[in-house]
Amino acid sequence: MAYTEAEARELILSAVCRLVGAGLVARTWGNVSARISEEQFLITPSGLGYDIMTPEDLVLVNISDLSYEGTRKPSSEKGIHADAYRLRPDVNFVIHTHQDKASIYGIRGWDLSGLNSEVLGKRVPCAAYGLSSTEHRRRAVADAVSSNPSSSAVLMRNHGALCLGRDCETAFAAAEELEQACTERVGEVLDEELNMYTQQRALWPMPDYGRSQRVGHRFKLKHGTVTRIYDLKDLPDNLRGPAAVHAAIYLRTSARYIMHVRSEAATAMSVIGKTVYPYLDDLAQIAGPDIRCARLCDDSQLPAAIVRALSGRNAALLEDCGGFCTGKTADDVTAASLLLEKGCEAVLYAKLLGDCRPLNSADARLQRLVYQAKYSRKKEA
C-alpha cells in the first residue's frame, strides 16, 4: 500500500539519516524514494546534503513521464526509481546506495547467488554496466528488476545497489543484509591480501604528513601532536617535510584542505606502487580518472612529485606511504579519502580475482568531467 504524502516525506528523511548512521551512504551518494500513489512517488533532490534536507525539499515525480513538481530537481536517477515502481506493484520504498562491499562485489558483474535470505531471496542479480544517469544504465537496471520479480535488491555493476521494499523497513533491511552478504564474500578474498601488505608495511615506520586547512594565504597544519600556522607568502627557505608538501600543494592547486591518508587498502596500494585505475565510478568522479603514485625521492624533490601526481585529481598515492587527498571543503577531502579507500579495496579484490577490468579510461574521464561541471559547480553555487 502506498504512503500518504506526509508519511512519505517523514519516512524518507528518517531513512537517509538511518542510512548515513549505518554507513550505507555518505554525503549525497545515493537516493531514496517512496510511492505515494500508482502514478507518483517522492524522491530526494539532486545535490542537496542529507544533513540540511527538509521534508519540503523532497520532489514529487510522475512515474509515467518523470515530470515533477516544485523548484528543486529530483535525483538524476529518478528513472530507475520510476521503473522499480512501474515494474513492481508490490514495491513502495526504494533505496539506491553506494555501500562499500556491495559496490566492490558488483565490479565483477556476477549475481550474488547461493543465498537463503527471507529478505533478499536466493539471489541478487547484477545489472550490466552503464554510465551514471544514462538511459543505458536505466534499461540495464530495469531488465534486472523485471527478470527477478522475487528479488529485493539489484547490484549495479561498477556503481552501487538498488534495494526495494514493500515499505521503508523492508527496503532498509535489504540494504543491510546485502552489505553483510557482500562483506562475507569480499572479505574471504580480500582479508588475506590486506594482511600481507599490512605486515610488510609494519616492518618500517610510515611517516605522518598530517592534515591541513588553508584560509587566505595561511594554512594550519596538524602533524602528530603539533599544530603550526604557515604563511604562503613568507615560507622559510629551508622548509622541508610535511609543511613543504602541504605548501607546495596549496601554491599549485585550488585545494583548501589536505589530508594524508594512511588507511589499510590505500597503504597496500602505495606499497604496490602502481597507478590505481578505478573500478567504481564514484572514485573516478570525485577523486580522478586514475590515481597516480608518486615515487619516494629526495626530500627536496618530494613536494613537486606529489603535486605532479595530484595534477587534475583530488587523490594521489605516495610510494609506501598511503595517499594524499585534497578538496575545497572539509567534506570534500573526507569524501575523497573514503572513496580512495573503497576504490583501493576494489582494485585489490579485482587483482585477486583476475577476471574483471577497470572502467574504460574514456568513461572514467567523462564521468570526472561531468561531475566537475555539474555537481561541483552546483555545490559551489
DSSP 15-53: HHHHHHHTTS--TT-SEEEEE-SSSEEEEPBTT--TTT-
Of the candidates 329, 293, 328, which has an alpha carbon nearest to the alpha carbon of residue 308?
293
Res 370 pLDDT > 60? yes
C-alpha 381: how far from its chain's center?
A: 22
**Pairing label, strands 126-127, 153-156:** parallel
Distances from the Cα of 280 to the Cα of 152, 288, 327, 367, angstroms: 22, 11, 19, 11
Distances from the Cα of 150 to the Cα of 109, 155, 178, angstroms: 20, 14, 15
Residue 361: what residue type?
A: S
Q: What is the pLDDT of residues 271-316, one digit of tens each?
A: 999 999 999 999 999 999 999 999 988 878 999 999 999 999 999 9
To the nearest 10 degrees (0 to 180), the angle between helices 135-147 and 78-87 is 20
Confidence of residue 1 (pLDDT cuts 50, 70, 90): low
Res 50 pLDDT > 90? no
Lowest mean pLDDT segment, chosen from 49-53, 135-139, 195-199, 322-326: 195-199
Mean pLDDT over each residue of the chain, to the nearest integer: 93
Catalytic site residue from 5, 39, 56, 77? 77
Res 329 pLDDT > 80? yes
> Of all helices (H) and strands (E), which one includes residue 66?
none
| Burial tier of 304 (Cβ tally within 10 Å: 0-12, 13-18, 19+) | middle
Residue 35: strand, helix, or coil: strand
Round to whole Å and give the CA distance between 368 and 131: 11
Better-scored residue on pLDDT, 111 or 197? 111
Q: What is the pLDDT of residue 127?
A: 98
Residue 197: what residue type?
A: Y
Q: What is the pLDDT of residue 375?
A: 62
Confidence of residue 378 (pLDDT cuts 50, 70, 90): low
Is the whole-model pTM more than 0.85?
Answer: yes
Express as a percent the part of the chain with pLDDT over 70: 97
CB under 8 Å to 272, separation ≥6 — which residues? 197
- Is residue 77 part of the annotated active site? The answer reads yes
Round to whole Å and give the CA distance between 122 and 114: 6
Confidence of residue 10 (pLDDT cuts 50, 70, 90): very high
Per residue, the 3-state secondary structure of 237-249, as one string, reads CCCCHHHHHHHHH
Q: What is the pLDDT of residue 380?
A: 45
Confidence of residue 25 (pLDDT cuts 50, 70, 90): confident
Question: What count of other Cβ atoms lies within 10 Å of the Cβ of residue 322?
Answer: 29
Round to whole Å and give the CA distance between 367 and 66: 23
Q: What is the pLDDT of residues 176-212, one digit of tens each?
A: 999 999 999 998 888 888 888 877 776 678 899 999 9
Torsion of CA 198, 202, 204, 207, to 10 degrees: 70
Round to whole Å and give the CA distance between 320 and 201: 7
Q: What is the pLDDT of residue 224?
A: 87
CB under 8 Å to 91, separation ≥6 — which residues? 35, 84, 85, 164, 165, 166
Q: What is the pLDDT of residues 91-108, one digit of tens each?
A: 999 999 999 999 999 999
Q: What is the pLDDT of residue 381?
A: 41
C-alpha 357: how far from its chain's center?
A: 19
To the nearest 10 degrees (0 to 180), the angle between helices 168-201 and 264-272 is 40
Of the candidates 58, 82, 86, which has an alpha carbon nearest to the alpha carbon of residue 72?
58
Question: How is residue 45 annotated by DSSP?
Answer: B
Q: What is the pLDDT of residue 182?
A: 96
CB under 8 Å to 128, separation ≥6 — which residues? 109, 140, 143, 157
- CA-only gyration radius of the chain, Å: 22
Phi-psi region of 19 (alpha: psi -120 to 50; beta: other; left: phi over 0): alpha
pLDDT (average), residues 8-29: 88
And the C-alpha cell for 312?
A: 587534475
Of the candidates 202, 245, 208, which has an alpha carbon nearest to the alpha carbon of residue 224?
208
Res 259 pLDDT > 60? yes
Res 139 pLDDT > 50? yes
